[in-house]
Amino acid sequence: MSPRDAKPRLDLSGRVEMTHGAGGRAMAQLIEAIFKPALANDFLAQGNDQAVMPLPGPGRLAMSTDGYVVSPLFFPGGDIGSLAIHGTINDVALSGAVPLYLSVSVIIEEGFPLADLARIADSMGAASRAAGVPVVTGDTKVVERGKADGVFISTAGLGLVPPGLDLSGDRARPGDRVILSGSIGDHGIAILSSRENLEFETAILSDSAALHGLIAAMVAAAGPHLKLMRDPTRGGLAATLNEIANQSGVGIVIEEAAIPVKPQVAAACELLGIDPLTVANEGKLIAVVDPAGAEALLAAMRAHPLGREAALIGTIGEDDQHFVQMRTAFGGGRIVDWLAGEQLPRIC
């Protein structure tokens, strides 16, 4: 029995109307029927304009917010709901924090099918429960048809950084090692495969996942040695490495042969003329660690289900120009640049 069945019924064959956002009974019904049961927890049940939560212990607070606009809303391996939960948990956790609480704001386009909205809310709830990070407060708004693309979700997260941990994008130093938690490009290819005018068949699923469990294991194994962690989402591994190189004022040299890419992802990239290094991920992270901690870190990551394919992919070096360079599997060298413009399939 899904949590919704116990609550007042809303005819899910209908569509979202402007009244669902107008603050009247229809809005209350929408929240009661769809969001409350999907996301249920004690903090949300307080029913106030804010949630009041206890401070869990010593340390520093970490906070992050992110907007989710993905097309299509449902894709192989996930949907915008689970993505909005995973993405913000990850952004909080990459500081080394234990993620504690989430907020959710949903902007819905008039005419959006209620059944799809329920599916998204249920998916958010399932992801939040599985991660053990409750959505403690939320908001919905409805905008006129054409003013949004189905559903936009914005989530924010709070977490607690344990004392003694200090991760930051400017801490990479020459000699540090770069470790990647698994294969790249899965999310972006899963999205592209289901996009209109581009459809191709693939068994590739989005890697969307909450990484705080993996991160906790990494912190336990190599905490003081960890310099920084990032997740290579939009812009892919290439953008994230360039961010790190710029923020820390260093160069990075990576080994193409060490970077895990699933054969199907590589094939899809060939077909579309795009580079797997620039394709988005939603369940992977990069860690920069001092050499003394690299081995323990890798071992801990490989022992975790989300880090089984973790690999040492490169080394931080000195470079005034902050280039990210790659030694190709072919034996040459090249720059790994930011993605220019949007990722477009190309003919040439």
Residues that bind other proteins (CB under 8 A): 197-198, 200-203, 263-264, 266-268, 270-273, 321, 323, 325, 328-335, 337-338, 340-342, 344-348
Torsional sign, CA 283, 310, 100, 227: negative
Cα–Cα distance measured from residue 38 to residue 277, given in angstroms and rounded to the nearest whole number: 36
Contact yes or no for 187/282 (Cβ under 8 A): yes
The CB-of-74 to other proteins minimum distance in angstroms stands at: 20
Q: Which residues contact 198 (CB under 8 A, 6 or more apart)?
A: 192, 272, 345
- Where on the phi/psi map is residue 299: left (φ > 0), alpha (ψ -120 to 50), or beta? alpha
The CB-of-191 to other proteins minimum distance in angstroms stands at: 14
H or E segment at 296?
helix 291-302
Q: Which residues contact 261 (CB under 8 A, 6 or more apart)?
A: 183, 184, 185, 276
The two three-digit tokens of residue 141, written as one number: 């708004």
The CB-of-286 to other proteins minimum distance in angstroms stands at: 21
Q: Which is nearer to other proteins, 246 or 325 (CB)?
A: 325
The CB-of-337 to other proteins minimum distance in angstroms stands at: 5
Which residue bears the tokens 């991660």?
Answer: 131
The CB-of-196 to other proteins minimum distance in angstroms stands at: 9
The CB-of-257 to other proteins minimum distance in angstroms stands at: 9
H or E segment at 333?
strand 333-335
The CB-of-39 to other proteins minimum distance in angstroms stands at: 36
Q: Which is nearer to other proteins, 56 or 345 (CB)?
A: 345
Q: Which is nearer to other proteins, 140 or 202 (CB)?
A: 202
Q: Which is nearer to other proteins, 93 or 269 (CB)?
A: 269
Q: Which is nearer to other proteins, 43 or 200 (CB)?
A: 200
Q: Which is nearer to other proteins, 106 or 253 (CB)?
A: 253
- Report whether the peptide linkage leading into residue 72 is cis, meaning its omega lies within 30 degrees of zero: yes
Q: Which is nearer to other proteins, 105 or 246 (CB)?
A: 246
The CB-of-145 to other proteins minimum distance in angstroms stands at: 17
Torsional sign, CA 286, 288, 294, 300: negative
Q: Which is nearer to other proteins, 131 or 272 (CB)?
A: 272
Q: Which residue(s) pair with 65 in the sheet?
A: 156
Neighbours of 208 (CB within 10 A): 23
Residue 307 Cα to chain centre, angstroms? 15
φ and ψ at residue 251, rounded to 5 degrees: -105, 160
Torsional sign, CA 189, 195, 199, 202: positive
